[in-house]
Structure 1
């Protein structure tokens, strides 16, 4: 089946892309309002986009009948956000924070999520998250009437000690690092425990038949 994405209705485009471009890592984003209220929200249109400088990108979709998401509002007003990675043990609490709350209420309080102080950007991270990326806003790119791309400069990175095999060489224990990922638009997730290795080819390696 061939789809013309330029003419396909938005709902079907979302369903196709969110179900086929998988697995997608989950950014559990914490922000602060100017009044100091913690907002938490998960996003799976997310990834790192480089290392020099270290960049993250968030694709944030707006609801067609609701105002600007608290995450975008807070990032716009404060210029800061923290990305927390999600383990299976945190999945239920992460899912709770996907709800819509009034701006003055905190999803961290609703889901009883313990927060940890930031080291660089002032935005607390999720204490039980094994990886936290403290970011400063680089740019917000409008990419549609209800869609934005947020680019962030990673100022500081927290890694749980148990994930480090060697802190000097920054070698990560991939057997222990098992964040969950999204596998569709209807609340389907996957575990990242099943891995395999392939050696990178050199210039003399022959192509596969």
Structure 2
């Protein structure tokens, strides 16, 4: 027997909990931003994250409500996506605390920063990959805002490259599941795509 979950009969919070329990695993954008006057750096995880375009390279994360990350991007036009890896789980979770905008998560969680090359927000020094982005556009959708950023510069620690490509097994990506659940990479399957062949050409 199937259990029905009609969105119109549920509260937004309840259906949010359902959606985030079935749209899994979700990659995590660990987004660093800075206030316009440069006085405070913000760092927060966003688990609604993906690639929006490859040419030009554009990534996208979603702010549920008006988070500090969104406000800073709107006012400065810049952000950095730091790679969320399994060894950084507790630091990432520590930056999910809803601190006042005037308090830096870098400082509160004791996270080492490093300067970015093309934008003002710093990178997380311990993150093996970082994408420096300039805001491309934002799109309001319901109670959320989608933030699109053009990747201006990318860096990867050389120890995590195999054949000049970042290795997922070495990077050990961290993902978000439902509720307080987090996911790790687990078993990696390798399977070649099946090419299409015109009938009669085999």
Paired residue for 1:34?
A: 36
Q: Distance in 2 between matches of 1:205 and 1:7?
A: 48
Residue 43 (1) aligns with residue 41 (2): no
Task: Quote the offset at 1:7 in angstroms.
Answer: 4.8
- SS of the residue 1:74 aligns to: helix
Q: Distance in 1 between matches of 2:11 and 2:198?
A: 45
2:122 maps to which of 100, 120, 124: 124
Paired residue for 1:65?
A: none
2:181 maps to which of 157, 179, 188: 188
Q: Say if 2:169 and 2:185, in contact at 8 Å, map to a contact too.
A: no
Q: CA 1:105–1:196 in 2, change beyond 3 Å: closer, same or farther? A: same
Task: Quote the offset at 1:203 in angstroms.
Answer: 1.1
Paired residue for 2:14?
A: 12
Task: Quote the offset at 1:58 in angstroms.
Answer: 0.8
Q: CA 1:122–1:203 in 2, change beyond 3 Å: closer, same or farther? A: same
Q: Distance in 1 between matches of 2:167 and 2:31?
A: 24
- SS of the residue 2:136 aligns to: strand
Task: Quote the offset at 1:35 in angstroms.
Answer: 2.2
Structure 1 unaligned residues grouped into runs of 5+: 63-67
Paired residue for 1:136?
A: 134
Mean Cα deviation higher: 186-195 or 105-114: 186-195
Task: Quote the offset at 1:70 in angstroms.
Answer: 1.0
Q: Distance in 2 between matches of 1:135 and 1:7?
A: 39
Residue 72 (1) aligns with residue 66 (2): no
Q: TM-score, normalised by structure 1?
A: 0.88
- SS of the residue 1:109 aligns to: helix
- SS of the residue 1:175 aligns to: helix
Task: Quote the offset at 1:205 in angstroms.
Answer: 9.8
Q: How many equivalent residue pairs? A: 196
Task: Quote the offset at 1:38 in angstroms.
Answer: 0.6
Q: TM-score, normalised by structure 2?
A: 0.91
**What is the aligned-residue RMSD (CA, Å)?**
1.7
Higher helix share: 2
Task: Quote the offset at 1:12 in angstroms.
Answer: 2.0
Residue 178 (1) aligns with residue 172 (2): yes
- SS of the residue 1:18 aligns to: helix
